[in-house]
A and B are shown apart, each in its own frame.
Chain A
């Protein structure tokens, strides 16, 4: 599903799966109707929240670690060109090949060429957000190449011809009975008596994947970190399936967003503490793979890394928003978000759901792209995401900043009810005397509320309020008037 194949590179900064195709409120309304989804999400997010709080709470220096992570990422963004060049030089010196991709299309074309050169029509995949973002599987499929997901949850989603709904737990919207049914229907050679016991499900997936690992000649991965001063790449995971892909095939192709760099190897010390504790709620993730170029007789003999922009420099150019690029994709903000918990990930359209998606997608594509302007409003600004973020991205402030960009982008057009209302409110609320004059009308509202002193139905956009809430009858006088009378002022 490539989005800028119009022969006009640069028309839009980001391409691929970065777009809300429908306004968030209407997509959310549809997802809210799925009560099974809501039960699954509530259960999954609250379990992982508790786990995260346990392992972040036990570290006395957790706040200092967050500050260190934030400071390191800030310095990476400030030095990005220099660090990217150092990274390229070091990867090349160690026998790897570096490619640069401006957008999703360019990345997909490069990957396709590389796979074609190996003469295969099958590749195995390590779970990766970057390849989801560029829509790589779909692109390769259109060109006759099958890309097999090897992460258990990604496999479930792929077998079900569905889309991931969470960056860490892509099948969070499915419970185990639903998973069993998908396996029975879609997994070749599966035991027809398969139960929904998690161990049995994992064994079925394992048998299915083993065959792929042993035959695949090419693997494709993303990267959690790239180390500028050594050219080392790293993937952290839980299952070990990634490790299989990173070591068994002859050729490894890694797609990495340009913001994933860290200056030095020792900086991993900070991030390998922050990431597992924030994401799976573990002290240490089971598998941390690190590789540098190629090593004879050990692992893939051919290694390519594709450095992906796809709107990242657009986000970097936004002074108020650029810290969104500090994100290490831990998903803590998603797991604590009350909006995500109720709508799930599909409502956001883009590969990146939840609070981080609500800022990252419009920052990468521009707030005017498709319906991405509706994403920054998908938050009550409760601030839970900011508290949870291991690199202290102030998501609420960036949401508000992007709302400002969206409002400004629509100035001059036909005013909405909200435009009119807020402009009038600005006039009334910027002067105590004017507000006082408006408050003289309170008894009118009181009369309108009627005998039971409640307003139950309002017109226009305010009907959204009265769909589930009453408004009490206004008081007979404002505080301002009461005060004036008490203090004998006029």
Chain B
């Protein structure tokens, strides 16, 4: 299968290792990955902040980029950005009165999958240890990000994949379904409420005793990781893709609290 990678702006600029790991996993399954060059961002920061006018060119760019390449499905290592592509893009176009863009955005959205959704529903990954050689001998707790959980209804897909990783011990996160408090510009506009939500999330993560908090969205993980780092907790954050890409021969190192010592092995 030919798979177009939507890296998402935050992974592209801040956490390239999650996109590299996504490529590694997909290639290991024998698929061809392409990277549409014109891509930039899904625009949800603009939409969610009420800047619909400013979101239009961002959406138009995404649609153009993912029309310019020939592929079977597109994938992003983010539930939130995929939800934006699927649900917000047609709405932004509609609000701008651009029926043509709405139609094209809907078509791109239909072909776009969140990583765990693609792996489980389309590529038939049921046993990451067996099919991908996934190996990660650490204690891990898992935060299901809100948009993946509620907008994409990912259910058990991400946690299920983690459970199938050899050596990984998955520890239940108390109050897992509670938002971490990120919410894009919410974290600066309502910084105090956001910090209070984060404090409860990090306390729950630390109560598990896990050495890693995993998730499927680097936006939330940046927020949670930023709190864990400030608290000098010693708990690291890692993307699901990085854990799936880790193998016995070339394990992903558990990063320090600031999240920078990881070594990602591709191919």
Could you list which residues of chain A lie within 8 angstroms of chain B, going by C-beta atoms? Answer: 24-25, 28-29, 32, 38, 338-339, 342-343, 376-384, 386-387, 397, 400, 402-408, 418, 422-423, 425-426, 428-435, 438-439, 442, 452-454, 456, 461-462, 464-465, 467-475, 477-480, 482-483, 486-487, 489
Question: Are the CB atoms of B258 and A452 closer together than 8 Å?
Answer: yes
Cα distance A139–B262 in the bound complex, in angstroms: 65
Question: Are the CB atoms of B58 and A426 closer together than 8 Å?
Answer: yes
A-B residue pairs in contact (CB < 8 Å), sample of 9? A342-B197, A400-B48, A408-B50, A422-B54, A464-B188, A464-B194, A480-B7, A480-B12, A482-B20
> Shortest distance in angstroms between B86's beta carbon and chain A's nearest beta carbon?
13
Question: Are the CB atoms of A464 and B58 closer together than 8 Å?
Answer: no
Instruction: Knowing A403-B50, A426-B58, A471-B226 are in contact, say whether A479-B193 is a contact too (CB < 8 A).
Output: no
Instruction: Knowing A429-B9, A432-B37, A432-B39 are in contact, say whether A418-B230 is a contact too (CB < 8 A).
Output: no
Question: Are the CB atoms of B196 and A342 closer together than 8 Å?
Answer: yes
Instruction: Knowing A403-B48, A407-B49, A432-B37 are in contact, say whether A453-B12 is a contact too (CB < 8 A).
Output: no
Question: Are the CB atoms of A483 and B230 closer together than 8 Å?
Answer: no
Question: Are the CB atoms of B16 and A479 closer together than 8 Å?
Answer: yes
> Shortest distance in angstroms between B228's beta carbon and chain A's nearest beta carbon?
9
Within 8 A of A (CB), among B12-59: 12-17, 19-20, 35, 37-41, 43, 45-55, 57-58
Q: Select one of B13, B45, B147 contacting A478, CB under 8 A.
A: B13
Cα distance A402–B95 in the bound complex, in angstroms: 13
Cα distance A463–B189 in the bound complex, in angstroms: 10
Question: Are the CB atoms of A469 and B50 closer together than 8 Å?
Answer: no
Question: Are the CB atoms of A468 and B258 closer together than 8 Å?
Answer: no
Cα distance A463–B50 in the bound complex, in angstroms: 21
Chain B neighbourhood of A465, CB < 8 A: 187-188, 191, 226
Question: Are the CB atoms of A25 and B190 closer together than 8 Å?
Answer: yes
* B142 contacts chain A at the CB level, 8 A cutoff: no
Chain B neighbourhood of A28, CB < 8 A: 190, 192-193
Instruction: Knowing A435-B41, A469-B223 are in contact, say whether A462-B13 is a contact too (CB < 8 A).
Output: no
- Which of A32, A425, A429, A435 has the most B CB atoms < 10 Å from its CB? A429
Cα distance A426–B223 in the bound complex, in angstroms: 22
The 7 closest A-B pairs by CB, nearest first: A380-B183, A403-B50, A469-B226, A464-B191, A382-B179, A479-B16, A430-B57
Question: Are the CB atoms of B181 and A338 closer together than 8 Å?
Answer: yes
Question: Are the CB atoms of A468 and B195 closer together than 8 Å?
Answer: yes
* B1 contacts chain A at the CB level, 8 A cutoff: no
> Shortest distance in angstroms between A205's beta carbon and chain B's nearest beta carbon?
33
Per DSSP, chain B at the interface is helix
Instruction: Knowing A407-B49, A469-B226 are in contact, say whether A426-B192 is a contact too (CB < 8 A).
Output: no
Within 8 A of A (CB), among B115-150: 146-147, 150
Question: Are the CB atoms of A380 and B194 closer together than 8 Å?
Answer: yes
CB-nearest residue of chain B to A320: B95
Question: Are the CB atoms of B188 and A474 closer together than 8 Å?
Answer: no
* B71 contacts chain A at the CB level, 8 A cutoff: no
Chain B contact residue count (CB 8 A cutoff)? 74
Question: Are the CB atoms of B20 and A479 closer together than 8 Å?
Answer: yes
> Shortest distance in angstroms between A67's beta carbon and chain B's nearest beta carbon?
16
Question: Are the CB atoms of B258 and A470 closer together than 8 Å?
Answer: yes
- Which of B16, B184, B230 has the most A CB atoms < 10 Å from its CB? B16
Instruction: Knowing A338-B197, A482-B16 are in contact, say whether A472-B150 is a contact too (CB < 8 A).
Output: no
Cα distance A377–B259 in the bound complex, in angstroms: 30
CB-nearest residue of chain A to B8: A479
Chain A neighbourhood of B46, CB < 8 A: 422, 425-426
Beyond the given pairs A25-B193, A28-B192, A454-B229, 19 more chain A to chain B contacts, judged by CB atoms under 8 angstroms and listed by A's residue number, are: A24-B190, A377-B190, A379-B183, A380-B181, A380-B183, A384-B146, A403-B48, A418-B189, A422-B46, A426-B54, A428-B40, A464-B187, A465-B187, A468-B191, A468-B226, A468-B230, A472-B222, A473-B260, A475-B17
Chain A neighbourhood of B198, CB < 8 A: 468-469
Cα distance A120–B64 in the bound complex, in angstroms: 72
Q: Select one of A25, A343, A376, A439 contacting B12, CB under 8 A.
A: A439
Chain A neighbourhood of B207, CB < 8 A: none
Cα distance A197–B225 in the bound complex, in angstroms: 44
- Which of B17, B50, B57 has the most A CB atoms < 10 Å from its CB? B50
CB-nearest residue of chain B to A462: B188
Question: Are the CB atoms of A468 and B58 closer together than 8 Å?
Answer: no
Question: Are the CB atoms of A431 and B52 closer together than 8 Å?
Answer: no
Instruction: Knowing A472-B14, A479-B19 are in contact, say whether A383-B147 is a contact too (CB < 8 A).
Output: yes
Chain B neighbourhood of A380, CB < 8 A: 146, 179, 181-183, 186-187, 194, 197
> Shortest distance in angstroms between B93's beta carbon and chain A's nearest beta carbon?
14
> Shortest distance in angstroms between B35's beta carbon and chain A's nearest beta carbon?
5
Question: Are the CB atoms of B229 and A469 closer together than 8 Å?
Answer: yes
Q: Select one of B150, B188, B193 contacting A32, CB under 8 A.
A: B193
Question: Are the CB atoms of A439 and B13 closer together than 8 Å?
Answer: yes
Chain B neighbourhood of A487, CB < 8 A: 35
Question: Are the CB atoms of B226 and A384 closer together than 8 Å?
Answer: no
Q: Select one of A383, A432, A470 contacting B38, CB under 8 A.
A: A432
Cα distance A378–B191 in the bound complex, in angstroms: 11
- Which of A432, A438, A453 has the most B CB atoms < 10 Å from its CB? A432
Instruction: Knowing A28-B193, A429-B43, A432-B40 are in contact, say whether A453-B179 is a contact too (CB < 8 A).
Output: no
Question: Are the CB atoms of B13 and A382 closer together than 8 Å?
Answer: no
Cα distance A404–B49 in the bound complex, in angstroms: 7
Question: Are the CB atoms of B178 and A338 closer together than 8 Å?
Answer: yes
Cα distance A400–B92 in the bound complex, in angstroms: 11
Q: Select one of B13, B39, B147 contacting A442, CB under 8 A.
A: B13
CB-nearest residue of chain B to A29: B192
* B234 contacts chain A at the CB level, 8 A cutoff: no
Cα distance A381–B50 in the bound complex, in angstroms: 12
Chain B neighbourhood of A471, CB < 8 A: 222, 226
* B60 contacts chain A at the CB level, 8 A cutoff: yes
Cα distance A434–B65 in the bound complex, in angstroms: 14
> Shortest distance in angstroms between A78's beta carbon and chain B's nearest beta carbon?
21
Question: Are the CB atoms of B186 and A422 closer together than 8 Å?
Answer: no
Q: Select one of B9, B40, B193, B256 contacting A339, CB under 8 A.
A: B193
Instruction: Knowing A32-B196, A380-B197, A456-B230 are in contact, say whether A483-B35 is a contact too (CB < 8 A).
Output: yes
